[in-house]
Amino acid sequence: MAWEVVIGLEIHAQLATKSKIFSGASTAYGADPNTQACAVDLALPGVLPVLNMAVVEMAAKLGLAIGAEVAQRSVFARKNYFYPDLPKGYQISQFELPIVGKGQLNIELDGEEKTIGVTRAHLEEDAGKSLHEDFQGSTGIDLNRAGTPLLEIVSEPDMRSSKEAVAYMKKIHSLVRYLDICDGNMQEGSFRCDANVSVRPVGQEELGTRAELKNLNSFRFVERAINIEVERQIDILESGGKVVQETRLYDADKNETRSMRSKEEANDYRYFPDPDLLPLVIEPEFLEQVKAKLPELPDEKKQRFMQAYALSLYDAAVLTSSRELAEFFEQTVKLSASDAKLCVNWVMGDLSALLNKENLDITESKVTAPQLAGMLRRISDNTISGKIAKTVFEAMWAGEGDADKIIEQKGLKQVTDSGAIEKLIDEVIANNPKQLEQYRAGKEKLFGFFVGQVMKISKGKANPAQLNELLKKKLS
């Protein structure tokens, strides 16, 4: 039987505020345990939450960016359950009335676009951390993270493969960084997701029973966890079994998912509106102000890149996948005064390759946009050839300075004087009479041999176009 995979994601984006969502304690990562937990975070008797208004603007930005309705009135609710790293015995979240309603965004996969629905996004506080190591027979609790603001973005079950799920997650990742509302740091847990996965026979409308995969904190894990879970579910169904609705944990070391708790064991969270917080009311004027501050969004930028620079959907999508990369590219184009295609090739080619190899982000690139542009200008004005440019680029990467300096110091300037090139050609022809004879007898493949020989003695500096033209004349 052919199976269709159905995936929905719940993404938790940590909002990039300085202080917590309901207290004044710092949200900075990596402090000593419990040094960033104030009376409110510790849930001492008598303390009360006060909403950090910065999170409202951030949530509104996301809502506007995905074309969703930002609720004029949303309500904080208590999600009640006991756990040592949840100091109040409830998490303040939003339940029936979230701040962001239905929206959508487009993902690109294999050069095609697909629209994924966003069901809702709501504000909530993070819990603390339980430390099971280092405490023999006991568990340590670190409440630094307790009260960190999160925006939980819930998608519709619109994804049909792990690749689509990853593309969607990357899109949200890029979006929150464009909006400057989340640092997107997955290692520190600032951006993570749960995946709801089910399968159904192709053509069946009714959804299959789903499993929820918890806490997937890298794109790679999302893809692998979904794949392994899909296999597991198909195996069960094909051997006549039934998938159980449950929460499963992905174990990256063993590459398997295992059951955490079934639906029957699931908590009854006893949600109810938090009486310590008034309903959150957003005035239309506030939304207008937020709207005015929105940056150009990835999809708008992508469309503009495709038109302004005649880029393919693929190139435009890659270049706009991060705000920083897009800015690097645009700055390069502007400063180099060169053909956009040339810039794309370099940014997406040699530059990306080196970044990947050294595991660097575009913001950490060892060649800056003005430096790259400087080099591209020398390609465009024929000072160097594309091939020599690779040498120049590597030297710039190694920190040897700007392109002009490197070209000068290493004498990499292209030879464009036809007299000089002719002289080199004559020399090569004179030294290779046998090949000349064969060429003239019809072995035209040897043309490349002569080009190579001339390039060799010119140390790569002969202008390739001129060389071709002159060589053709001389050989015939």
Q: Which residues bind another protein (CB under 8 A)?
A: 39, 42-51, 78, 80, 82, 84, 87-90, 141, 268, 270-272, 275-278
- Residue closer to another protein by CB (options 115, 267) is 267
User: Could you tell me the smallest distance in angstroms from the CB atom of residue 271 to another protein?
Assistant: 8
The order of strands in the sheet holding 149-155 is 103-109, 112-125, 149-155, 3-14, 191-201, 211-216, 246-251, 256-262
User: Could you tell me the smallest distance in angstroms from the CB atom of residue 145 to another protein?
Assistant: 15
User: Could you tell me the smallest distance in angstroms from the CB atom of residue 402 to another protein?
Assistant: 54
As a three-state string, the secondary structure of 5-60 is EEEEEEEEEECCCCECCCCCCECCCCCCCCCCCCCCCCCCCCCCCCCCCHHHHHHH
- Residue closer to another protein by CB (options 105, 143) is 143
d(CA 320, CA 293): 19
Q: Are 76 and 93 within 8 A, CB to CB?
A: yes
Q: Are 99 and 60 within 8 A, CB to CB?
A: yes
- Residue closer to another protein by CB (options 279, 386) is 279
The values of phi and psi at residue 383, to 5°, are: -65, -40
> In terms of DSSP bridges, do strands 246-251 and 211-216 run parallel, antiparallel, or are they unpaired?
parallel
- Residue closer to another protein by CB (options 138, 187) is 138
224: number of Cβ within 10 Å = 18
User: Could you tell me the smallest distance in angstroms from the CB atom of residue 84 to another protein?
Assistant: 5
User: Could you tell me the smallest distance in angstroms from the CB atom of residue 209 to another protein?
Assistant: 20
Q: Which residues of 167-188 are buried (b: 16+ CB within 10 A; e: fewer)?
A: bbbbbbbbbbbbbebbbbebee
- Residue closer to another protein by CB (options 45, 433) is 45
d(CA 39, CA 19): 14
Three-class SS state of 348: helix
- Residue closer to another protein by CB (options 36, 155) is 36
d(CA 184, CA 176): 7
Q: Are 282 and 60 within 8 A, CB to CB?
A: yes
- Residue closer to another protein by CB (options 272, 397) is 272
User: Could you tell me the smallest distance in angstroms from the CB atom of residue 131 to another protein?
Assistant: 14
- Residue closer to another protein by CB (options 81, 314) is 81
User: Could you tell me the smallest distance in angstroms from the CB atom of residue 361 to another protein?
Assistant: 39
User: Could you tell me the smallest distance in angstroms from the CB atom of residue 141 to another protein?
Assistant: 7
- Residue closer to another protein by CB (options 75, 199) is 75
User: Could you tell me the smallest distance in angstroms from the CB atom of residue 275 to another protein?
Assistant: 4
What angle (nearest 5°) sits at the alpha carbon of residue 252, between those of residues 246 and 255?
Answer: 75
Give me the helix-helix angle, 323-336 and 162-178, nearest 10°.
Answer: 70
d(CA 33, CA 47): 21
- Residue closer to another protein by CB (options 123, 454) is 123
User: Could you tell me the smallest distance in angstroms from the CB atom of residue 40 to another protein?
Assistant: 9
